[in-house]
Amino acid sequence: MPKSKGKTEVLQKCPTGILGFDEITGGGLPKGRPALVCGGAGCGKTVFAAEFIVRGATEFNEPGVIMSFEENIDELTKNFASMGFDLKSLIAKKKVFLDYVFIERNEIEETGDYNLEGLFVRLSNAIETIGAKRVVLDTIEALFSGLSNTIILRAELRRLFRWLKDKGVTVIITGERGEGTLTRYGIEEYVADCVILLDHRMIDQICTRRMRIVKYRGSSHGTNEYPFLIGSTGFSIFPITSVGLDYKVVAERVSSGISVLDQMLGGKGYFRGSSVLISGTAGTGKSSIAIKFAESNCKQGKKCLYFAMEESTSQIVRNMHSIGINLEPFIKKELLTIHASRPTVVGLEMYLVNMHEMVKRVKPDVVIVDPVSNLASAGVDSDVKLMLTRMLDFLKGKNITCLFTDLAHSGSTEVGRTELEISSLMDTWMLLSNLELNGDHVRTVRVIKSRGMGNSSLSYKFLLSDNGVKISEVFKNKYNVFARE
């Protein structure tokens, strides 16, 4: 009988713990191999590397060594304290070994005998002292800053990478971007097993950061550019195109808070965990329907997280009194959390990171974004749509019902177009209109689509008064029919 073939050995991964990165790479950096993080000044190379060490020590029980050639120990500990990285505590617990190596350029002699033996001894001692599994060298340019002999430099670079690989530790080496090459010397990217490029750019006077994995030996990975942020908790990367449509759905329904609207949606309201879009021109009552949905859930003891982009919390509370809705009790009981902030204050990516963090902290049953079209003022439309796709999948993966209001183009047709063209992403889409008939203004609401349920195809009169939100008779009552998508 023929001998059975052995199993193919799969490249092991070292999880970084950096938000979004491990998803893009399918598990993290190549375990026991060197990776290169390169980019221009201020792009976040050192922050990425330090977070890799801190997350390893605190989340994966893997001690790490940071060897810096530019900043001393005091400077590093102070810099990372601002992001909540307590390096002093980790050093005291022997979870992190921090070493500063000062290299004076004029002290380096360019001879054929120049080598890195002294560095190897020092680094080896640091690794053995705490049993390190992770190592960071920051930055490689400082290590070779005094060398102009290309032959020596290239030979020592290759030897450095080989020595690190033989040590069996997972390594990040940071490097400055060169002219026409990823790095200054143009060889680091060839000898590293993984190359990560960070970029800091300005688009339409808006600062934005992007990350790209240039290569990853022995592993598939996301190859696109991914937006990332450096916030109070470190790196946050948005792996937009790596999201899969694998979240589970339920048949349970949740009331819209308006009985007639529930009847328009097959008699039971929205599916729990689905996405709802309410579009219309200014003044059609989008926010009122959204708030009514929030009130309905809060009355049932469910948590609602409301992102307001045009009004302050106090203004929303005051205005809702005019239609008989009192939000103060729900806010006091922490059933309703209102986050009022304009996206332009922090930028598109930071605003969406804040949304992610608040969802994780509040753990809501319902998320409302009012109006989602304001995100367009903080970024390019294509980026906004991709970010919203990611946010929708994030919320659906947690089975959170999400409702978005969106400003429709003025003068649009009855079906209408939304500012961001996101209606195709939504499970339920309702269009509000403000019509003028014989000198009177009449509000109407119509369900354009609602996936997976029977829904009315008619337009209904929609009223706002002291008694609340009311949907009355059919506006055009020629056929009392229901449509199924």
What amino acid positions are annotated as catalytic residues? 70, 310
Residues 66, 45: Cα–Cα separation, whole Å? 13
Partnered with residue 134 across adjacent β-strands are 64, 170
In Å, how far from its chain's centre is CA 413? 35
pLDDT of residue 236: 80
pLDDT of residue 111: 42
pLDDT of residue 53: 96
Alpha-carbon distance values, 237 to 24, 229, 358 (Å): 9, 7, 16
pLDDT of residue 414: 44
Q: Which domains does the chain have, with CATH numbers?
A: 13-242 (3.40.50.300), 253-484 (3.40.50.300)
Which tokens sit at 237?
A: 């990367």
Residues 170, 44: Cα–Cα separation, whole Å? 19
pLDDT of residue 483: 38
| pLDDT (tens digit per residue) in 310-325 | 999 999 999 999 999 9
State the pTM of this model: 0.71
Tally Cβ neighbours within 10 Å of residue 235: 25
**Which residue type, as a one-letter code, is found at position 441?**
H
Q: Which residues of the chain have pLDDT under 50?
A: 1-4, 107-113, 241-242, 412-416, 477-485
pLDDT of residue 119: 82
pLDDT of residue 335: 96
Length of the chain: 485
pLDDT of residue 192: 83
Tell me, letter by letter, the H, E, C secondary structure of the chain: CCCCCCCCCCCCEECCCCECHHHHHCCCEECCCEEEEEECCCCCHHHHHHHHHHHHHHHCCCCEEEEECCCCHHHHHHHHHCCCCCHHHHHHCCCEEEEECCCCHHHCCCCCCCCCHHHHHHHHHHHHHHCCCEEEEECHHHHCCCCCCHHHHHHHHHHHHHHHHHHCCEEEEEEECCCCCCCCCCCHHHHCCEEEEEEEEEECCEEEEEEEEEEECCCCCCCCCEEEEEECCEEEECCHHHCCCCCCCCCCEECCCCHHHHHHCCCCCEECCCEEEEEECCCCCHHHHHHHHHHHHHHCCCCEEEEECCCCHHHHHHHHHCCCCCCHHHHHCCCEEEEECCHHHHCHHHHHHHHHHHHHHHCCCEEEEECHHHHHHHCCHHHHHHHHHHHHHHHHHCCCEEEEEEEECCCCCCCCCECCCCHHHCCEEEEEEEEEECCEEEEEEEEEEECCCEEECCEEEEEEECCEEEEEEECCCCCCCEEEC
The answer to whether the beta carbons of residues 356 and 394 sit under 8 Å apart is yes
